[in-house]
Structure 1
Amino acid sequence: MAAKGVERLLNVIMTIGSRRRIDRAKLFAVIPDYAEATSDQAAERMFERDKASILALGLPLVTERDVLDENTVYYRIDAAPAGAVLDLTTEEYTVLLAASRAWDDAAAGGAARRVRAKLLSLGHDADPDLLRRAPRGAVESLPVLTPLLEAVVAGRSVRFVYRGTHGAPALRWVEPWVVGVHDGHWYLHGWDRDRSAPRLFRASRIESFPQDGPAATAPRPAQTDLAQVLEGMLDSSDRAPAVLEAAPYKALSLRDRAGAELAAERLTLPTLPRPAARRLLLADVRWIELLEPVAWRREIAEVLGAIIALHRGEADTAALAAATLRPEPRIRSTAQSGDHLSRLISVASFVMSRGEADLAELAEALGVTEKQLVTDLQVLFVCGDMGAGWEDLIEAEWEHGTVRVRNAEPLRRALSLSAVEITALLAGLATLEPAAGETEQVVASARAKLLAGAAGRAETPAALPTRTEIAEAVRADERIARTADRAEGVLAAVQSALRAAGDPERSRLMIRYSSNDRPGTSVRRIRPLRIETDGARSYLLADCELAGGERRFRLDRIVEILDEDAPQQRAGTGGGPDLSGRVAGEVWVRLAPPGRWVAESFAAAELRDGEGEAAFARLDSPVLAPLVDAVLESAGAVEVLTPRELRDTIVTVAQISRARHTP
């Protein structure tokens, strides 16, 4: 909606909210856009759209008919009903504010943009120390998420263009059941009308903005676990507990599944289907030797042999040269009127509750530029109670970097969150949990209040479809890893050091770190600076004495907190090629359908489509060790074409691993 529409909505809210109630005829007479409409029907349609927008904001607009004359209709904005607005402590508000920052609001869509403004309207002050220590999470931000979440809540179908792993883009017609996060990525699970069966869609592969369809008709399951749906795709009747040997302090995810000690050399995984176990084992094959089952061991050796054959010598790049460039999907992500209006109301509410506010601080809290904030204040300046005349407008000032807002009492209210916006916050909260540490109870209580608020929303289905997926948002094995003693001990020590940032002694830690690019472990003295989260992974940014500068450590690879007098040491370098650092320049890979995930995981800079199901991706300076592991994990579905040196490295790594699995 254009700026004129936003001004009209603000005038309607101010005019209705400035009095006990106002009748429809007078409202239509004093609001210029209604009065100047080309017909009564046009004014009616405009007002009906405006009413829907006002209700979507969370403002309780009430319609009443005169008891003596049914033709007279009155409107008023009611006091917020109990439970409609979250009642949060300072700590809960702070972690929700941190959760809202997990979204890239420029790309995530309306729900993500509105959440931050609505939180501000609550009028709380954040705990600056807790906000500094809260991890900076990251949720995969896609413009298609808001309409998908809205379709789940509204119980309607959607149409979109989807590019699956096995073909060209195709139009799909789906009744969404669940929109949730798994391993840092968004998925849609629902009923595919064209195929008359449940289907799973990765949201990042949706290449058009979802269009609303008719109401859903297929029965929705009471509960859906995304992790189970995804694991079902790798199910098999061939199941067994895998027994393996692993290098001490390596293959950490397998250790967590097996419940093994960090230095244990023999692990037994729980019973798993053969395809799922193969993928897990290949992802860590540089550090392990599979002992049993023998048939699985032979399969690992065969897969590694196929990878060696695929990468030996020069690559055939003729198919790459003939492939056509895949255009990037153009999906609109423009701001909606509700985004802008919720921000305007929140600005007015926040400033009036304090008397004045600093322009720069307010802009930062909203996630907008100071220029955009001034533009918002200029809109406030020309709006007001139209029933009292043009002289009764909102007063807004922003001179000398100080913001003041007066004569806008109807806007001095907290905005309630919709079910979709609550879902967005739950997803953001989930990104904080892997590094929650001492704030875990605060995160849990904030989530409980969000879920209680969602359950009370009239438009929310009886079984909130995103409750389980968003509240958890990590795989079962990652939850186990997070709650393990070592993880809790590491987090507690890191949080304690962050809290003591001003004390040179108490803010230092001695850690044992298991890097993924070299054998053994390193012992380092560090001073933690902050925790960051990227998808399902959490990282610690710290000053490292051994490296002589800032370094980024993955939290789940900090395996021990040591005594301060432990000697520092670097990790070993033997046992294979050096996989540290990044690949210099660009890497081209060929992707068979089962390996398409590599292009998304490494944020491919360019994609090309070849004949049949072949696809090609250009990766710019990818991190070497994770790329090598991804090629091995893909079991031959990914071939590195260039550079030649990387192909040789993969051959060497695969040969070393294959030798351990060959008699």
Structure 2
Amino acid sequence: MTRPAARGGSRASADRLARLLNLVPYLLARPGIEIAEAAGDLGVTERQLREDLELLWVCGLPGYGPGDLIDMAFDGDRVTITYDAGIDRPLRLTPDEALALVVALRMLAETPGVANREAIERALAKIEDAAGDLVGAPVAVRLPGDTRRVEALRAAVEGGRALRITYYTAARDETTERVVDPLRMLMVGGRAYVEAWCRRAEAVRLFRADRIDAITELDEPATVPPQAVPHDLTEGVFRPSSDLPLITLRVGRSERWITEYYPCERVEAGDGDQWLVSLRVTDLGWARRFVLGLGPDVTVVAPVELADQVRATAAAALDAYAVPVAAVRRAPADSVPPGDPAVAAGTQ
């Protein structure tokens, strides 16, 4: 039980050491800085910064006597380093740290919805210049999905152009053609979306980039009406509400993962290893396909309409695989290709 705590303590000590080594050159470059301002810049509380300064006061060169230790002067809430004990340069990035930072910035620059890509690219150029050969390894950063499609969407957003798109709606399992006026690009849950005013629905809609089958940029500007308000996506794309259908499933141990992956209203223990799980869905058509994909360890409890739909779809699928055994036995041997599974099914 003590090992995790020890690792956590070691990590905290390492973080503090790095902070202390950077603190001295930071303060040297800003003599007389207010402690509150320094704490804000360094991302720590004033109390933590004061504790760091007290620790620095007893650090220095071997001998640890007068003239060996780091010294500083306080003027009210302002601090000035008066002796740095040779710690006058900030830490340099290790090769792994430099590469990780460069990759993260490249990914950020490619992310849809980023407001100021030029600032990111300037910061990236400075870090690559400072790191030099540390980041010389060839690294290609690509977002998941069709990069060309995302670039076309981003160009339309930045150019303020209307789009004609062919879009697959998974909830209804249908493909439609729409004219949309883009509002913004964004990344949610690792997927790229374009948020736009849909002229067909006369409302703001989110369109997943990987579900857009075709894009045509129209020769007209995007016309976004005043009532078009972007969605609040701080809690994700799907936000359950009381007006959506509520379904209840009885799930076994192997399907409990859905309680972690989907927002559930209620999870209760049932008989044995079974749980009763209630969640909101966009519509029962999506719920039917969802349940059918889960396997035999899930049973629909409510609503009855969904249970009937699942039962009917499953029965239709089984009927499609059914083979009349008597008919196969009556068929001439040369009417069935060699190796046909129907022959084996009819002779067992």
After TM superposition, the score normalised by the length of structure 1 is 0.31
Mapped to 2, the partners of 1:429 and 1:611 lie a distance apart of 50
SS in 1 for 2:186: strand
Contact 1:592 1:614 in 2 (8 A): yes
- 349 and 544 in structure 1: CA distance in 2 versus 1, 3 angstrom threshold: farther
| 1:414 has 2:68 as partner | no
TM-superposed CA distance for 1:655, in Å, is 3.2
Match of 1:632 in 2: 292
Select which of 4, 9, 12 maps to 1:336. Answer: 12
Query: Which residue number in structure 1 is paired with residue 169 of structure 2?
Result: 515
Q: Sort the Cα spacing of 1:616 and 1:652 in 2 relative to 1 into closer, same or farther, 3 A.
A: closer
Does structure 2 retain, via aligned residues, the 8 Å contact 1:352–1:404? no
Counterparts of 1:587 and 1:209 in 2: how far apart (Å)? 44
Between the aligned partners of 1:379 and 1:553, the Cα distance in structure 2 is: 50
Instruction: Report the Cα offset of residue 629 of structure 1.
Output: 3.9
Superposed, 1:70-469 pairs within 5 Å as 336-343=12-19, 345-346=21-22, 363=40, 372-386=44-58, 387=64, 392-394=70-72, 406=81, 410=87, 412-414=89-91, 416=93
**Cα pair distance change 1:529/1:614, threshold 3 Å:** same
Find the aligned partners of 1:423 and 1:640 in 2 and give their Cα distance.
50
- What is the letter of the counterpart of residue 151 of structure 2? A
> Contact 1:435 / 1:538 at 8 angstroms: preserved in 2?
no
Alignment match, 1:532: 187
Query: Is the 1:526–1:543 contact (alpha carbons within 8 Å) kept by the matching residues of 2?
Result: yes
482, 492, 496: which one aligns with 2:151: 492
CA–CA distance in 1 between the matches of 2:49 and 2:155? Answer: 41
Contact 1:528-1:540 at 8 Å conserved across structures: no
SS at match of 1:414: coil
- Whole-Å Cα distance in 1 between the matches of residues 164 and 88 of structure 2? 52
Task: Give the Cα–Cα distance (whole angstroms) in 2 for the partners of residues 525 and 398 of structure 1.
Answer: 60
- The C-alpha deviation readout for 1:307-358, integer Å capped at 9, x for no partner, is xxxxxxxxxxxxxxxxxxxxxxxxx999833345545555665676688799
1:557 alignment counterpart: 211
Conserved 8 A contact 2:106-2:141? yes
Q: Give the Cα–Cα distance (whole angstroms) in 2 for the partners of residues 542 and 434 of structure 1.
A: 17
Equivalent residue of 1:564, what SS? strand
Percent identity of equivalent pairs: 16
Question: 1:551, CA displacement in angstroms?
Answer: 4.0
Give 1:564 shift.
Answer: 1.5
Question: Does the 8 A contact of 1:359 with 1:398 survive in 2?
Answer: no
Unpaired segments ≥5 residues, structure 1: 1-207, 213-331, 455-470, 501-505, 569-579
1-side partners of 2:163 and 2:197: how far apart?
10
CA positional deviation for 1:210: 8.1
Q: Give the distance between the partners of 2:276 and 2:102, measured in 1 at CA.
A: 36
Deviations 1:548-569 (A, max 9, x none): 665433221233221315999x
Deviation at 1:605, TM superposition (A): 6.3
Q: Distance in 2 between matches of 1:525 and 1:427?
A: 33
Distance 2:257 2:100 in 1: 24
Give how far 1:652 is off. Answer: 2.4
Deviation at 1:538, TM superposition (A): 0.9
CA distance in 2 between counterparts of 1:618 and 1:430 reads 41
Matches of 1:560 and 1:398 in 2, distance apart? 65
| Alpha-carbon separation, structure 1, partners of 2:214 and 2:28 | 50
- Deviation digits for residues 237-263 of structure 1, max 9, x if unmatched? xxxxxxxxxxxxxxxxxxxxxxxxxxx
CA deviation map 1:17-60 (0-9, x unaligned): xxxxxxxxxxxxxxxxxxxxxxxxxxxxxxxxxxxxxxxxxxxx
Secondary structure of the equivalent of 1:539? strand
Task: State the distance in 1 between where 2:74 and 2:204 align.
Answer: 44
Report if the CA contact (8 A) 1:349-1:411 is conserved: yes
Distance of aligned partners of 1:630 and 1:545 in 2 relative to their CA distance in 1, 3 Å threshold: closer
Contact 2:156 2:163 in 1 (8 A): no
Distance 2:252 2:109 in 1: 35
Matched, 1:590 2:250: yes
Task: Identify if the C-alpha distance between structure 1 residues 521 and 614 changes in structure 2 by more than 3 Å, giving closer, same or farther.
Answer: same
The 2-side partners of 1:593 and 1:472 are apart by: 41
Q: Is the 8 A contact 1:511 1:523 kept in 2?
A: yes
> Shift in Å at residue 393 of structure 1?
3.8
Which string of whole-angstrom CA distances, capped at 9 and with x for unpartnered residues, describes residues 464-522 of structure 1?
xxxxxxx9999xxx96xx3xxxx222211233356x3xxxxx13441523221222224
Question: What corresponds to 1:216 in structure 2?
Answer: none
Give the whole-Å Cα distance in 2 for the aligned partners of 1:654 and 1:436: 42
TM-score normalized with structure 2 length:
0.53
Q: Distance in 2 between matches of 1:509 and 1:209?
A: 60
Match of 1:662 among 314, 319, 322: 319
1:634, distance to aligned residue in structure 2 (A): 0.9
Q: Which has the higher contact order (CA 8 A, sep 6+)?
A: 1
